[in-house]
């Protein structure tokens, strides 16, 4: 245990010191964490031994928590109203492009790898969602970032971790591990229509009600001030728990709760004509907010939203460290010499994702260059690990389980590296070309 204290402490201090340097290099913190995970895993010091199949019941709640925190953070960053045109690409990416990605991967897995239809659909669902945890370098940098590509990628990552769930349930159903109903009617009615709609609805309701209650108490009675970290965790827990209680998708509920809290802040701020700073950590002032700021009729909404966002961003970083370290250790179980990996991963990154993106955005105003950037940065990460663990704890086993696990871990690891190397130069080039 002493060794773990020393190692974790040294890692965190090193990242705190080197954080600004990494931003200037073609490297990301996730690449560094994964390398450390490899070093302490079975391929290195042997301090951490994790097998995705053997430890699926432990990894499911860990990955679930990391994704939930990141989805709430993503919702808080998206300040534009849903009527704004920038939302259209994100919605199409999370629906049309998502379905196309699942279908393309499923076809490749069935005809190219010999997987059954159910296992192939499940693999497509596991690999289709982009990641809100590891893709922060290509997402909006703060709540006032309106750049089209970043907004589309953030909105997509926030939505498609929920819209992938129906396809996971479809894959499990085709494998005989979930009830689909006659002709798939139960799946369509419950797993698609009800679970998506109810998840978005209950999250919106929780976020709006809690935000309005807190602002009323602060502005009218100078109460409920401070403990914004409890507010963030409480809202995440309430929205996620309420969604699960009514058998809907908690991922969508948490994302919707973040959007709703931000919408309430925006409406109150615009109503009062409050000036809002263009910074990621403080929406209302450049200095740390005081109790007077938190209860001020004009500044209170922005102070509340920025405090919750700042706390959640810290949690998100801790989740990233934890999960990517574990990912690095799990790579010892990947059979890198397996023939499918040599061609499947390039096909996914260079053909499937770009094709689904271009087709999904064909009727939008996005330019060819913007679609190319969006098509390349389909970062896979913790969301895929969660869906894999979920499938394993819900009956996936045998050869299908080992092949899907092997492919998923390899795809996520390669995504961390290739997208991590390319993010700094490509986003810098895109910014220069578009004066962003």
pLDDT at residue 322 in the model: 93
In a domain, 1, yes or no: no
CB 170 within 8 A of CB 180: yes
124 in a structural domain: yes
Examine residue 4 and state whether it is found in any structural domain, yes or no: no
Task: Note whether 204 and 260 are within 8 A (CB).
Answer: yes
pLDDT tens by residue, 155-179: 999 999 899 999 999 999 999 999 9
**CB contact at 8 A, 243 and 202:** yes
Residue 81: CA count within 13 A, CB half-sphere: 6
Which SS3 state, helix, strand or coil, does residue 248 take?
A: coil
Report yes or no on 3 lying in a domain: no
Burial 118-137 (b: 16+ CB within 10 A, else e): bbbbbbbbbbbbbbbbbbbb
pLDDT at residue number 350? 96
pLDDT digits (tens, 9 = 90+) for 287-327: 566 767 777 777 788 888 888 988 898 999 899 999 999 99
User: For residue 327, what pLDDT is reported?
Assistant: 96
pTM of the model: 0.92
Looking at residue 276, its pLDDT comes to 45
For residue 228, being part of any structural domain is answered with yes
Q: How many domains does the chain have?
A: 1
d(CA 200, CA 251): 9
- Is pLDDT at 273 greater than 60 in this prediction? no
How many Å separate Cα 421 from the centre of its chain? Answer: 20
The number of residues making up the chain comes to 436
Please, which pLDDT band fits residue 210 given cuts at 50, 70 and 90? very high
Q: What one-character-per-residue DSSP string does 379-427 give? A: ---HHHHHHHHHHHHTT--HHHHHHHHHHHHHHHHHHHHHHHHHHHHHH
Residue 108 domain-assigned?
yes
Strand stretches in 125-215, DSSP E: none
In a domain, 73, yes or no: yes
**Is residue 346 predicted with pLDDT exceeding 70?**
yes
Q: Please indicate, yes or no, if residue 379 is contained in any of the structural domains.
A: yes
| CATH number of the domain residue 326 falls in | 1.20.1530.20
Looking at residue 271, its pLDDT comes to 61
Domain that holds residue 370: 29-434
Query: For the chain, what percent of residues have pLDDT higher than 90?
Result: 62
Of the ranges 2-16, 30-44, 116-130, which is most confident? Answer: 116-130
Residue 392 has pLDDT above 60, yes or no: yes
**Distance (Å, whole) CA 329 – CA 46:** 9
More confident residue, 8 or 62: 62
pLDDT by residue (tens digit) across 82-101?
Answer: 888 999 999 999 999 999 99
> What is the distance between the alpha carbons of residues 75 and 262, in angstroms, rounded to a whole number?
8
């Amino acid at each position: 245990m002493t060794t773990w204290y020393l190692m974790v402490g040294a890692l965190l201090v090193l990242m705190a010191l080197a954080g600004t340097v990494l931003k200037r290099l073609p490297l990301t913190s996730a690449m560094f964490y994964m390398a450390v995970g490899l070093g302490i895993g079975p391929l290195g010091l042997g301090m951490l031994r994790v097998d995705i199949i053997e430890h699926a019941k432990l990894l499911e709640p860990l990955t679930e928590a990391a994704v939930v925190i990141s989805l709430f953070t993503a919702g808080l960053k998206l300040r534009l109203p849903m009527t704004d045109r920038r939302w259209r690409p994100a919605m199409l990416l999370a629906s049309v492009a998502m379905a196309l990605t699942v279908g393309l991967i499923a076809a490749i897995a069935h005809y190219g790898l010999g997987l059954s239809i159910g296992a192939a659909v499940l693999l497509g669902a596991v690999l289709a969602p982009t990641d809100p945890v590891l893709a922060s370098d290509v997402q909006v940098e703060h709540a006032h970032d309106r750049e089209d590509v970043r907004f589309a990628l953030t909105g997509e990552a926030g939505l498609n971790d929920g819209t992938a769930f129906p396809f996971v349930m479809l894959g499990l159903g085709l494998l005989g591990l979930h009830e689909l109903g006659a002709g798939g009617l139960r799946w369509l009615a419950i797993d698609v229509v009800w679970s998506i709609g109810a998840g978005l609805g209950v999250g919106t309701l929780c976020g709006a009600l809690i935000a309005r209650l807190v602002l009323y108490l602060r502005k009218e009675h100078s109460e409920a001030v401070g403990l914004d970290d409890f507010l963030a965790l409480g809202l995440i827990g309430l929205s996620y728990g309420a969604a699960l209680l009514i058998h809907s998708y908690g991922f969508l509920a948490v994302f919707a709760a973040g959007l709703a809290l931000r919408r309430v802040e925006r409406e109150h701020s615009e109503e009062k004509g409050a000036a809002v700073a263009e910074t990621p950590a403080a929406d209302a002032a450049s200095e740390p907010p005081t109790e007077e700021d938190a209860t001020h009729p004009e500044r209170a909404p922005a102070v509340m939203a920025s405090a919750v966002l700042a706390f959640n961003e810290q949690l998100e970083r801790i989740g990233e460290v934890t999960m990517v370290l574990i990912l690095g250790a799990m790579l010892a179980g990947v059979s890198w010499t397996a023939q499918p990996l040599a061609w499947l991963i390039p096909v996914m990154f260079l053909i499937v994702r770009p094709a689904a993106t271009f087709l999904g955005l064909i009727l939008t105003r996005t330019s060819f260059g913007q679609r190319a950037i969006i098509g390349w940065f389909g970062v896979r990460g913790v969301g895929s690990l969660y869906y894999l663990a979920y499938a394993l704890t819900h009956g996936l086993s045998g050869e299908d389980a080992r092949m899907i696990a092997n492919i998923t871990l390899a795809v996520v690891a390669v995504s961390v590296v290739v997208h991590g190397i390319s993010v700094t130069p490509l986003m810098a080039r895109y910014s220069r070309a578009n004066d962003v």
